[in-house]
Structure 1
Amino acid sequence: MSLSETLEASVGGITSAAKQPLLSVDSLTRVYGNRIGCTDVSFDVWPGEVLAIVGESGSGKTTLLNCISSRLTPTCGTVRYRMRDGISAGIYKMAEAERRYLMRTDWGFVHQNPIDGLRMTVSAGANVGERLMAVGNRHYGNIRGAAIEWLERVEIQADRVDDQPRTFSGGMRQRLQIARNLVTEPRLVFMDEPTGGLDVSVQARLLDLLRGLVSDLGLAVVVVTHDLAVARLLSDRMIVMKEGRVIEAGLTDRVLDDPRAPYTQLLVSSILQV
């Protein structure tokens, strides 16, 4: 095959991949005894897209996030992920070891409380470097260099590389958790209330950082939030949930500027009145 034919085939493969969803959720349901966590939820996430899942406390958004990120097994329904080789695989048909590897490499998960996503008794550099070791990196100098580079990228000074996260502020811990997740260049990142519990000024700074990183890296992101301002700033599309069900879905600006479901109208109007 000539060079031009090789390039054409490569570009054709990329174009074809871009036309396929990265994550496909079909009829997902999770029940806890007689209580519904989420029920009959279906949607796709496309490469480079940010999808927000919004709703009040108890709406089922966190249950849904945990199910699609393999942290919680659904009662029924399927979650399929398109691997780097282009094959779409059911994540609950994978072996447990395969799912764990996927979570350490191709996926990221940013917790609301950074303590849940960091090792608090090792250094900031070790927190970032640990993910690199999970994908086979063993050269100490390269790992430390990459850790410093990512700390600076999330606005943490390089001279803090040997400090433990317990000496960091809440905003710094969250930025460190983001660096830890992104250092392996994942294609899909799950975020659970990433700005929750932070001061308004810290939230604004973190959101600017997240928006820049998502754009620069071309990440696909599923973000759970109760804050519609966060959803508007970060997401391309939005799913609104109530009592475990999807009430409304669509482009973020359309849903927020022209909500059609009464529940969504109530959510939007309550924010505007604050």
Structure 2
Amino acid sequence: MNTVPASHLPLLRVRGVSKRYGDRVALQDASFDLWPGEVLAVVGESGSGKSTLLDAIAARSRPDAGSVQFHVRGGGLQDVFAMTEAQQRLLSRTDWGFVHQNPADGLRMDVSAGANVGERLMGLGERHYGRVRATAADWLQRVEIDPARIDDTPRTFSGGMRQRLQIARNLVTQPRLVFMDEPTSGLDVSVQARLLDLLRQLTRQMQLAAIVVTHDLAVARLLAHRMVVMQQGRVVETGLTDQVLDDPQHAYTQLLVSSVLQP
């Protein structure tokens, strides 16, 4: 596993984030730091609060309490929820990416693959058609999609190809942080393996920080430097991935690990 680069400040600082839906506590007092170039896995069974946490820290849902700070370029740590909507949108188009579990939620299904990738570049002001198309073709190749399919729509792609296209769409603007919600869920095992290998290569090559929500501990072990284990909306254990999986301390983590290891 690659070494996390040293930095004086975390890239993301999450403190006391909580969220309720009526009487139900979906998230309670979640806190952690994420460092530049680090991949963090958030694990737990269905209903543990993983996706609620991801939506809160990605500013897709406002938490009821707590703070999320991001280290903006040249500006230090800034409270994401103190930003204007325009500032949040700019952040989501530049330094952040979001890979959905269902690729159709993160792609425009009726426009070409090239347009899906090029759209984020155009959102940042690139207007030269040739450069946009060349960059899109390059990124299709990087995520193992034949550039000859640049004019095909995602509807004609397999599930694995759609997910790789969604990754290209997110990474084309060279973000520093990508949120991933169950990125391999629903894919065949062989397709999952190729996608995980691609993600591991890209995060390492780009020194990309990522938060990966997954119920699959094998995905966490392969991709993540550190893990956050959630149960009933609370963070119950954190630590280096191998340490947590090989020597879990909390009873819930022990149950998760043993249930995976049992034949």
- 1:94 and 2:83 correspond: yes
Question: What whole-Å deviation, never above 9, does each CA across 1:171-209 have from its counterpart, x for those lacking one?
Answer: 000000000000000000000000000000000000000
Q: Give the corresponding residue for 2:135.
A: 146
Question: How far apart, CA to CA, are the structure 2 residues paired with 1:167 and 1:32?
Answer: 38
Cα offset, 1:37, TM superposition: 1.0
Superposition RMSD in Å: 0.9
**SS in structure 2 opposite 1:137?**
coil
Alignment partner for residue 49 of structure 2, among 60, 68, 71?
60
- 1:32 and 2:15 correspond: no
Equivalent residues of 1:105, 1:134 under 8 A apart: no
Alignment partner for residue 264 of structure 1, among 253, 257, 260?
253
- 1:126 and 2:94 correspond: no
Question: How far apart, CA to CA, are the structure 1 residues paired with 2:49 and 2:231?
Answer: 7
Q: Which runs of 5+ in 1 are unaligned?
A: 1-14
| 1:4-23 aligned within 5 A | 18-23=7-12
Question: What whole-Å deviation, never above 9, does each CA across 1:214-247 have from its counterpart, x for those lacking one?
Answer: 0000000000000000000000000000000011
Question: How far apart, CA to CA, are the structure 2 residues paired with 1:87 and 1:134?
Answer: 24
Cα offset, 1:135, TM superposition: 1.1
Cα offset, 1:33, TM superposition: 1.1
Alignment partner for residue 219 of structure 1, among 208, 215, 219?
208
- 1:251 and 2:240 correspond: yes
Question: What whole-Å deviation, never above 9, does each CA across 1:65-90 have from its counterpart, x for those lacking one?
Answer: 00000000000100000001142110
Aligned residues: 259
Question: How far apart, CA to CA, are the structure 1 residues paired with 2:38 and 2:184?
Answer: 19
Alignment partner for residue 193 of structure 2, among 199, 204, 225?
204
Question: How far apart, CA to CA, are the structure 1 residues paired with 2:75 and 2:62?
Answer: 24
In our comparison, the structure showing a higher alpha carbon Rg is 1
Question: What whole-Å deviation, never above 9, does each CA across 1:29-55 have from its counterpart, x for those lacking one?
Answer: 011111011110110000000000000
Question: How far apart, CA to CA, are the structure 2 residues paired with 1:184 and 1:31?
Answer: 34
Q: Give the corresponding residue for 1:156.
A: 145
> What stretches of structure 1 move > 3 A for 4+ residues in a row?
none
Q: Give the corresponding residue for 2:102.
A: 113
Q: Give the corresponding residue for 2:219.
A: 230
Give the structure-2-normalised TM-score. 0.97
Question: How far apart, CA to CA, are the structure 2 residues paired with 1:86 and 1:195?
Answer: 34
Q: Give the corresponding residue for 1:166.
A: 155
Question: What whole-Å deviation, never above 9, does each CA across 1:6-59 have from its counterpart, x for those lacking one?
Answer: xxxxxxxxx9x8221000000000111110111101100000000000000000
Q: Which amino acid aligns with 1:49?
A: E
Structure number with the higher helix fraction is 1
Q: Give the corresponding residue for 1:175.
A: 164
Question: How far apart, CA to CA, are the structure 2 residues paired with 1:86 and 1:231?
Answer: 31
Question: How far apart, CA to CA, are the structure 1 residues paired with 2:176 and 2:132?
Answer: 20
Give the structure-1-normalised TM-score. 0.93
Cα offset, 1:256, TM superposition: 0.1
Q: Which runs of 5+ in 2 are unaligned?
A: none
Equivalent residues of 1:125, 1:162 under 8 A apart: yes
Q: Give the corresponding residue for 1:194.
A: 183
Question: How far apart, CA to CA, are the structure 1 residues paired with 2:15 and 2:56?
Answer: 12
